Structure 1
Amino acid sequence: MSGMTREGFTAELTERIQLVLFNIQYIYYLRVIQTMKVQITHWYIEKII
């Protein structure tokens, strides 16, 4: 940490933040897709019954 420049630190921080945001987005989309699958399955079952 001591040998790093301010620019290097800022760049690394930005990269980390982008990675975290990407992971959050990915998890969110997975959840949305799961929810949609469940709703579609329920709807499909109701149509059959």
Structure 2
Amino acid sequence: ELGLTSLQVMELIEQLEDHFDMSIPLNILPDIRTVHDLALALEKLDPR
């Protein structure tokens, strides 16, 4: 579990978007429960 509040998740998404210069759709958030889930989702969005 990430163990984040909804506000913390939004802040994390904003930081990731800035860091990776990408847009992360909010509709993927319900599927992200762990760091591994997040990594897989980011990889699917931008498989550099």
Which TM-score applies when normalising by structure 1? 0.38
Larger radius of gyration: 1
Which TM-score applies when normalising by structure 2? 0.38
Higher helix share: 1
Structure having greater relative contact order (Cα 8 Å, sep ≥ 6): 2
